[in-house]
């Protein structure tokens, strides 16, 4: 049974919301002010499937990808970019207000740049053993086969063909195969997960694929299969050789924008702690002017950071150590003597570390986060501990999605 709804606002995941007598109804790909025709979604009484847009919003635009709405990688290609940026700023403001914080929030910085430099494609053999390689469908488990993706950076050109070739060699029958690709200076770095052990015939076939598609490296669950060239990236003054599957910011532009905001937030600090440092996108640039102590739970990332620092001239002393900051955060006594602390945790935030920072006397703190709710929680902890939230800057490196990066600068009262 179909029905007509008027969309009043957008939800936090980018779905249109219509207020009905039965409560809110969520309609993906609908915009505020639109009148739409929808049908129920089986098993989800509060969700609707969009059939037609009867009255379109003036903010509606033509999606940039032919797979939009079928592939689950993007949620907002139908909405004008300037409206997306403003909406994401509003989401950050709402998250802060939910914890009782009212801080100056800058306009959202667009950091899409050339596009995503990392992508994870999935491969699965479906009905009749037909291979599909692409991204997951919206809110579903099946794979949508794709032949192009316009949000990827030029450095990922060729990844789809390479992923198909890899999948044809090792794709299992049921469980999706994950093919993670990262752009590097020497070609694509590929880490394959879900394949199970590889026999010699498959390893030989993968080596041939690496040569044909000019891949820098192929690993399986971090284990080296073939390396044609070291997968390196320039980070500030340093060159970092990437560990397999290591975390990087989604776009190169975002990494540069975030690093600049971090440097500005740290000000004239001469001794800085960089916590959840990864391979050092902040540490290696901060070390141009300050002594840096860096820590992260990923031992391979720490090893890569140490090697990069050792091989880069002109840096101040940079110490790096593997440490689980969720279980062993830097306590207040360890933070004495630091002029500034930078922390950039995973999506779950850094509650334990924030509590120790709140007890400290560090003059300046710069918090970087990819989750607005955990950022707001950790910010509340710092403010309750005597810090003032001086500024908040949203950074959009996740174009067409509801995700947003945030940089907050705190000063001890």
Q: Give CA angle at 125 (47, 171), nearest 5°.
A: 120
- E-state strands within 98-185: 109-110, 118-125, 131-136, 143-145, 177-184
Of residues 137, 188, 196, the one with CA closest to residue 162: 188
Q: Is residue 65 part of a domain?
A: no
Domain containing residue 370: CATH number: 3.40.50.150
16, 79 in Cβ contact below 8 A?
no
Mark whether 208 and 268 lie in a shared domain. Answer: no
Mark whether 50 and 196 lie in a shared domain. Answer: no
Spatial distance between the Cα atoms of 37 and 55, rounded to a whole number of angstroms: 10
Q: Please report which residue ranges of 17-58 form alpha helices under DSSP H.
A: none
Spatial distance between the Cα atoms of 407 and 107, rounded to a whole number of angstroms: 12
Percentage of residues in the chain with pLDDT exceeding 70? 99
Q: Is residue 68 part of a domain?
A: no
DSSP state of 50: E
Q: pLDDT band for 129, please (50, 70, 90 cuts).
A: confident
Mark whether 177 and 194 lie in a shared domain. Answer: yes
Mark whether 38 and 97 lie in a shared domain. Answer: no
Mark whether 149 and 256 lie in a shared domain. Answer: no
Mark whether 175 and 256 lie in a shared domain. Answer: no
Residue range 206-228: mean pLDDT, rounded = 97
Q: Please, what is the average pLDDT of the chain?
A: 95
Report the domain count for the chain. Answer: 3
Q: pLDDT band for 196, please (50, 70, 90 cuts).
A: confident
Would the pLDDT of 172 be above 80?
A: no
Spatial distance between the Cα atoms of 71 and 136, rounded to a whole number of angstroms: 6
Mark whether 52 and 16 lie in a shared domain. Answer: yes
Q: Which residues are catalytic?
A: 370
Which tokens is 228 given? 């044609």
- In tens, the pLDDT along 237-280 reads 999 999 999 999 999 999 999 999 999 999 999 999 999 999 99
Mark whether 196 and 286 lie in a shared domain. Answer: no
Mark whether 94 and 159 lie in a shared domain. Answer: no
Residue 109 confidence (pLDDT): 98
Q: Is the dihedral of CA 132, 186, 200, 192 positive or negative?
A: negative
Residue 195 confidence (pLDDT): 81
**Structural domain boundaries enclosing 32:** 3-60
Domain containing residue 27: CATH number: 2.40.50.140
């Amino acid at each position: 049974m179909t029905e007509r709804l008027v969309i009043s606002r957008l939800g936090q995941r980018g779905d249109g919301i219509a207020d009905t007598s039965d409560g809110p109804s969520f309609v993906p790909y609908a915009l505020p002010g639109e009148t739409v025709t929808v049908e129920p979604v089986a098993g989800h009484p509060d969700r609707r499937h969009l059939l037609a847009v009867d009255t379109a919003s003036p903010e509606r635009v033509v999606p940039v990808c032919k797979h939009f709405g079928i592939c689950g990688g993007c949620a907002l290609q139908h909405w004008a970019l300037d409206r997306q940026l403003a909406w994401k700023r509003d989401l950050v403001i709402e998250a802060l207000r939910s914890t009782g914080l009212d801080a100056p929030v800058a306009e959202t910085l667009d950091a899409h740049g050339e596009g995503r430099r990392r992508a994870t494609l999935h491969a699965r053999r479906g009905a009749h053993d037909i291979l599909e390689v692409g991204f997951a469908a919206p809110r579903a488990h099946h794979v949508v086969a794709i032949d192009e993706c316009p949000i990827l950076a030029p450095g990922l050109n060729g990844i789809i063909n390479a992923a198909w070739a890899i999948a044809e060699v090792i794709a299992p029958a049921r469980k999706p195969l994950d093919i993670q690709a990262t752009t590097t200076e020497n070609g694509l770095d590929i880490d394959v997960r879900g394949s199970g052990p590889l026999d010699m015939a498959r390893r030989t076939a993968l080596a041939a694929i690496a040569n044909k598609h000019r891949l820098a490296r192929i690993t399986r669950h971090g284990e080296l299969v073939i390396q044609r060239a070291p997968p390196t990236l320039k980070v500030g003054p340093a060159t970092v050789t990437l560990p397999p599957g290591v975390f990087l910011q989604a776009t190169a532009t975002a990494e540069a924008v975030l690093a600049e905001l971090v440097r500005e937030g740290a000000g004239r600090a001469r001794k800085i702690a960089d916590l959840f440092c990864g391979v050092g996108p902040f540490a290696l640039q901060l070390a141009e002017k300050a002594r840096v102590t860096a820590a992260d739970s990923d031992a391979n990332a720490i090893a890569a950071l140490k090697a990069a620092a050792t091989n880069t001239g002109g840096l101040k002393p940079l110490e790096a150590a593997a440490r689980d900051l969720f279980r062993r955060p830097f306590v207040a006594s360890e933070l004495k003597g630091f002029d500034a602390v930078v922390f950039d945790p995973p999506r779950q935030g850094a509650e334990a570390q924030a509590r120790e920072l709140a007890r400290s006397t560090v003059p300046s703190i710069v918090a970087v986060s990819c989750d607005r709710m955990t950022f707001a929680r950790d910010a509340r902890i710092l403010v309750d501990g005597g810090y003032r939230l001086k500024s908040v800057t949203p950074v959009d490196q996740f174009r067409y999605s509801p995700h947003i990066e945030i940089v907050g600068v705190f000063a001890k009262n």
